[in-house]
Chain A
Amino acid sequence: RKEVEQDPGPFNVPEGATVAFNCTYSNSASQSFFWYRQDCRKEPKLLMSVYSSGNEDGRFTAQLNRASQYISLLIRDSKLSDSATYLCVVNSAGGSSNTGKLIFGQGTTLQVKP
């Protein structure tokens, strides 16, 4: 079983749609969780950290369910520019992301159509 699992998609949605991605992780001791965005042939860029209480940044909402060991990302009012691959990332050793190892999911590809 992979340490971090995501549905690779692709998710094809029209502009303005709301789309949700889920991710599961196997290491129950993991403490830090992130969503990164990766555009084709580019490096990943941090989209947002994920906190137990849930957090929102504009059109993006991230949630963490420790009991079920899954993380979600909700994108509202999708824009064409949201088209990218979204990577679920878990810090296997806990703590901030500069300690321990970051484990990346395979990524979920989103295509927003006009």
Chain B
Amino acid sequence: GAVVSQHPSRVICKSGTSVKIECRSLDFQATTMFWYRQFPKQSLMLMATSNEGSKATYEQGVEKDKFLINHASLTLSTLTVTSAHPEDSSFYICSAARGNSPLHFGNGTRLTVT
């Protein structure tokens, strides 16, 4: 069964609003979670590494003030897309590490900004 849960799976919002996406590790603690973005027919691009109890580490070119990441507990990381614009429409996926096993991915969130 799923080990990483992501919610919502799909969201449509108006330009200028903010959207929060949740990523939960089920039955295990994840000190590190990763947030990716995937545009159509392109590869997954790492946006940021979410660290429990500390600030996220953002990849080059990703605006930290626009994509707010909070990792308040060992089982939950959230990504908030602030003041969303149509160009932010994408597939956002989180992942978490469980021990030494390969990463498990959430089911993804398809964001459409109108």
Q: Contact residues of A with B, CB < 8 Å?
A: 4, 8, 34, 41-46, 49, 87, 96-99, 101-107
Contacts and interface: CB of A to CB of B under 8 A. Distances in A.
A97 B43 contact: no
9 tightest A-B contacts by CB? A98-B97, A43-B105, A104-B43, A97-B102, A104-B44, A106-B43, A43-B108, A96-B100, A46-B102
Given A41-B91, A42-B108, A97-B97, A49 B102 contact: yes
Interface string B64-107: 00000000000000000000000000010101011111111111
A98 B43 contact: no
Contact of B103 (A41, A97, A106): A97
A4 B3 CA distance: 27
B46 interface: yes
Contacts of B93: 43-44
25 contacts: A4-B43, A42-B108, A43-B93, A44-B93, A45-B105, A46-B102, A87-B43, A96-B100, A96-B101, A96-B102, A97-B102, A98-B32, A98-B98, A99-B97, A101-B34, A101-B46, A101-B49, A102-B46, A102-B95, A102-B103, A103-B46, A104-B36, A104-B44, A106-B42, A107-B43
A42 B107 contact: yes
B82 to A, nearest CB: 24
Place the interface of chain B in its size category.
20 to 34
Contacts of B91: 41
A98 B106 contact: no
B106 to A, nearest CB: 6
Contacts of A42: 107-108
A44 B43 contact: no
A80 to B, nearest CB: 22
Interface string B10-47: 00000000000000000000001010100001111110
